[in-house]
Chain A
Amino acid sequence: MENLEIKAKSGSHFRPTVKLDASTGICEIAGESYLEETSQFYEPIYDWLVEFMKSKKPITFNFKLSYVNTSSSKHILFILRLLKQYGEAGNKVETNWFIETGDMDTEEDVEDYMIITGLKINIFHF
């Protein structure tokens, strides 16, 4: 299975950087997600995860998103629910969210994602 990488355009506030590593199971979405074509962007990520999960290998998912616009947020929820189901099926899942110190809006969003999905997300400040 191949890695999936999507690079954000330099200076872009619209598209995050994505690195999904099939050999290590370490996945990362970083930057800001203000997208109009959210389904087009997030569906390949979701599909990659579904395919990877057939391997039953551990996954570490690192979110380094400081801004998720409202239309991107439902796709983030889809991914979090998928990770939750994978963990409930007996697989090893670790989900981390890196938040800049003082960014309470993002911290509240992550807390809300946890309440909605029931997935444990470790919050790290930097």
Chain B
Amino acid sequence: MSDQSVTNRDKASFLDDFYEMLTNEIVIAYRGTFEKSILGVLAQNIESSVHESTVLKKKFFKLFLELAQNIANHSVEISSTSDGEDSGVGLLIIKHKGTNYLFITGNLIEAEHFLEIKKIIDNINKLNREELRKLKRTHFELAEKGEKNYLGLIQIALVSGHKLEIAKQETDNNKLFLIISAELSKEY
């Protein structure tokens, strides 16, 4: 058997495995800008691929939009959209994880901001639902005054109902790849 046929067999096997993973595990996998037109396409995809109760569909949609908005507004990898506007670039994967959906986002940030974001998420994870709602009200008022707030992350935690996870991958140039994940029970 030639080396070439082995390579081709490997490629076919990889494609089989990849296709199986896409079919059975992945709901959405997207990397790029998170401009409005793209979100519209992804939202339609959610409408057609999440065959669940309307309550779950709404929660799914809220999580998707808040996470996507996080990337659009906070990624330091910026690209011009077809409308000539700038939008953050990042990665969003939504996959099945047993009785939950797992939402994973990744985007570049300035390395110096990681500890601050981690501290916020650690604090969110320590709070029960009532404490989290109280924190949300404080941040609602900060948002109203146009001050810095973390309403988006708090909202993600409340809609998810699970602890948020944060991780990083080092890159060059004082930037790192921030990974935030949230789970959503399918049993709504």
Contacts and interface: CB of A to CB of B under 8 A. Distances in A.
Most chain-B CB neighbours within 10 Å: which of A14, A70, A77, A103?
A70
A93 B177 CA distance: 49
Interface of B: 36, 39-40, 43-44, 53-55, 58-59, 61-62, 65-66, 69, 72, 133, 136-137, 140-141, 143-144, 146, 151-152, 155, 158-159, 188
A11 B58 contact: no
22 contacts: A11-B40, A13-B40, A14-B36, A34-B69, A66-B58, A67-B58, A67-B62, A67-B65, A69-B65, A70-B151, A70-B152, A70-B155, A71-B69, A74-B143, A77-B144, A78-B144, A100-B54, A102-B188, A105-B159, A112-B133, A112-B136, A116-B141
B133 A105 contact: no
A116 B140 contact: yes
Contact of A112 (B44, B54, B140, B152): B140
A115 interface: yes
Nearest to A11: B44
B40 to A, nearest CB: 7
Nearest to B65: A34
Contacts of A11: 40, 44
B123 to A, nearest CB: 18
**Secondary structure dominating the interface of B:** helix
A108 interface: yes
A interface, how many residues as a size bin?
20 to 34
Interface string A8-52: 000111100000000000000000001010000000000000000
Most chain-B CB neighbours within 10 Å: which of A36, A77, A78, A112?
A36
A91 interface: no
B137 A112 contact: yes
A70 B66 contact: yes
Given A67-B61, A100-B54, A103-B55, A73 B143 contact: yes
A67 B46 CA distance: 15
Given A13-B40, A105-B158, A69 B69 contact: yes
A104 to B, nearest CB: 8
Contacts of A36: 36, 72
A13 B155 CA distance: 18
B36 A105 contact: no
A100 B65 contact: no
B152 to A, nearest CB: 5
Interface string A59-76: 000000011011101100
B158 A108 contact: yes
